[in-house]
Each structure stands twice: as structure tokens, then as C-alpha cells.
Structure 1
């Protein structure tokens, strides 16, 4: 990942921190699958961790970027550096692995999913979130270093190839599709407008009502699979 892409990711993480209620909502969608000792991969600046840790008995954070790991260590304590393509630096295995908006950055996503499988205890869950709908792929995806966006079919095939059993799959954030399409496909922006994320908290209640539409489309895809 080049320096320009990395800076775009830093900026987006800071911008998304303004949409704190979004992460609260996201946690509400997956918390029933979070249990025991948890590893979050690609924790960034901890936007989800502040909520995810409330469902765990032990919460470990990791990121490939040493600058982010230093910040995570300061804010949360138990953080370490790890690239999914490298040997795991600890002996720990986990009841739950959380990996949100990371796999799309990895060219070899098959290898990444297999590495996750090896970190879970038998019966453990992986909670994955990825960008959805390839027709939404645009300038912001390129700026953030996304290799692809996923569908239920492509993500299910990926995890099942690694011997996981899919327990839940759903598209989410239908209302976010319009903004992503306008800024990424029409205006060719390369970053998330801060005011857009700040206003997202205002329309958040609509996400709780979107399920009939989100069964078909959504800006993101959540999948839970069991080892």
C-alpha cells in the first residue's frame, strides 16, 4: 500500500469517528455473535472497538500499521502489529474474530480468510464486513486501495472455501449507497466529506427500518461464519 493510499485511509478513519452512532448500530447487528476472547483485525483507530469490547471477556486489537498500533495501545491497551500475510506473532487462539472493512484491501483474500480460520477455536465465529455491490466501485474505492466490492455470493464462496459455515449474511446501509455513488462515481471524490459523516448520525434511525430493502442491496455486507 503506497503512502498516498495510507494517508487517504487515515483521513477516512478520522472522518468516520464522527459517525460514532453508526458503530453503535453496527455493534447491535453483530453483538449476539461476539463472545469470549476476541481478536479484531485491522482495528484502525478503534472506531468499532469502543463498542465491540463491551461484548467480550477479553478484547485484543491489531493492525498492520505501526502508527495505528501505537494509538490503539494508548487508547485501549491490548494492541499489537500484525499483517494477515505474515505468521501470527502470538500463541493466542480466539472465540471470535472481527474484521471490518479490511479484506477488500487485500489482493489475496483467500489467504487472509485461511489465516483467520487458523486463529479461531473450533466453533468460533468470524464477523466480516466488506463493501458491497461492484457497480458502486469508483474513485473513493480506488483512493482507499480497494481491490473489489463483494456480493453475498462471492463472499460466501470465499469463506466456504476455507471450511467455514455461514451463519448470517446481510446487506446493510441502503441509505449510504446514494452518497457513495454520487461522490465516488459522479463527482469522483477521493475522500469522505466530513459533513456527510456528521449528518449520518441524524439519519441513523432509518437504518433500523431498512431490512426489507437491505435483503437485496446495500452499501456494505455483513457476514458471520463459524469454524
Structure 2
């Protein structure tokens, strides 16, 4: 079994800064929450729920949800945050792992890029859902954007649609949707982190992105799927006969 301290690689302090920055980005979060919402079902499970910001949004659409983390301090924080919500359970989960479940969906946002055995991680997510259940994945896109911020936060890869498709098929998952999202965000991320060597985190840049760039990009991408983006969005499912 992997060591919990090694399950998701990277500097924990920088990862916490990134999570705090994402917590500030409410418009971005609502946009990305919507990718998974139609597929939640009656009892989804989120892999590496972080601070629980996405889960808090999804709980408006499902009464029961399981949240998981590999980090013990985040498990405690999640239990405290959702202590008044009877439909939420919190548990430890490491990817990949030998686990089974009967969940309606398993969700991971910005998790697989941290894991050496990402196909094993997808197979674990597959085993957590019942036949026909959904596996919803968001990962950072395009290897050219791999910079100091990625390395500091423990990323071992960035994806394209081609590599994500291959990983999903290797994990015996049926692909329903696969596309890029946040085209303007990719440009901004590359300039700020690869060219200017900045680290993502709370601050004026996040506020500007969330108040201006994210809503504009979401509006633009309502009408078409961009040929590039900061993220790859994958909606898959476990085959009914498995």
C-alpha cells in the first residue's frame, strides 16, 4: 500500500496555497462543478476532495455523498466542515488501491496528474462505481505547460485528449464525453507560471481571473468546444456488463 505521505507527490505548503486560490475562484468553481452535476446520481464519491469546495456545490444536487482524502489533516478538516450534513461521509482513500464500491459516480478533479500509476487510479475509480456508474475526471492539459508550478505541486504529467482517451480505454471505461475547457485560462497559466515563473495561489491575479477571464471563457465555450484548454474534461462510465 502506498505511503499516505507519498500518495500525492509535491510540496504540501504550495498545494495548500493552490487550494486556497481555488477556494477564492467561485466563478471558475461553479463552471467546473457543472461538468459533473448531470452524472452524480444518488451517491457519488469524490476522490481527493481537498477542502470540500466542489463537494459543497454538488450537495445541492445529491443528498448523499462520500468524500475521500489521502492526507490525514484534510480528512479531519472535511469531517469538521460537513459535520452538520448527515448525508456526507468522509474516509481515507489512496490511488491506486484495492477497493470496491456501489457508488453512482466517482469524481476526481486535478488528481490523476499527481499519480505515477494513473491507469491504476482510474481502475480504482471504476471499481468504486456500480455497473453503468460514471467516472468523471478533470486533469490539466498539454505537456508544454508543465512548468515550475506543476513540479512544485507534484504533477508528474499533463494530458491531451489523446493520452486521456488511451488511459480511459486501458482502464476498461466507456468514454461518453472528452473535451478541452478553459482556453483563455491555458494562455494565462502558461504566461504566469512558465514564462513569469509565478506560483498559483490567492491574490489579485486569481481575483482578476475569476471575475473577468473565467466568466468570459465560459460564455465563449458555451457555443463550441475549443481545440485547446487548461483542462481535459472526461466523462466515462463502467460498462453495464462488468
TM-score with structure 1 length normalisation? Answer: 0.92
Match of 2:67 in 1: 61
Larger CA deviation: 153-162 vs 97-106: 153-162
Q: Structure 1: how far apart are the matches of 2:206 and 2:200?
A: 11
Q: Structure 1: how far apart are the matches of 2:58 and 2:67?
A: 11
Aligned: 1:15 with 2:21? yes
Residues 3, 135 of structure 1: alpha-carbon distance in 2 compared, 3 angstrom cutoff: closer
Query: Contact (CA 8 Å) 1:172, 1:220: kept in 2 or not?
Result: yes
Q: Structure 1: how far apart are the matches of 2:9 and 2:166?
A: 32
Aligned: 1:124 with 2:133? yes
Q: Structure 1: how far apart are the matches of 2:206 and 2:127?
A: 35
Q: Structure 1: how far apart are the matches of 2:13 and 2:37?
A: 31
Query: Contact (CA 8 Å) 1:69, 1:79: kept in 2 or not?
Result: yes
TM-score with structure 2 length normalisation? Answer: 0.87
Match of 1:45 in 2: 51
- Which sections of structure 2, spanning at least 5 residues, go unmatched? 1-5, 84-88
Instruction: Report the Cα offset of residue 142 of structure 1.
Output: 0.7
Larger CA deviation: 144-153 vs 196-205: 196-205
- Secondary structure of the equivalent of 2:94? coil
Instruction: Report the Cα offset of residue 15 of structure 1.
Output: 1.5
Task: Give the superposed CA RMSD.
Answer: 1.8
Query: Contact (CA 8 Å) 1:173, 1:214: kept in 2 or not?
Result: no
- Segments of 4+ moved more than 3 angstroms: 1-4, 190-193, 211-214
- Secondary structure of the equivalent of 2:191? helix
Larger CA deviation: 45-54 vs 97-106: 45-54
- Which sections of structure 1, spanning at least 5 residues, go unmatched? none
Query: Contact (CA 8 Å) 2:108, 2:137: kept in 1 or not?
Result: yes
Match of 2:86 in 1: none
Match of 1:76 in 2: 82
Match of 1:161 in 2: 170
Q: How does 1:1-227 map to 2 (within 5 A)?
A: 1=6, 5-77=11-83, 78-88=89-99, 92-192=101-201, 194-203=203-212, 204-206=214-216, 207-211=218-222, 214-227=225-238
Larger CA deviation: 126-135 vs 175-184: 175-184
Instruction: Report the Cα offset of residue 208 of structure 1.
Output: 2.3
Equivalenced residue count is 225
Instruction: Report the Cα offset of residue 50 of structure 1.
Output: 1.2
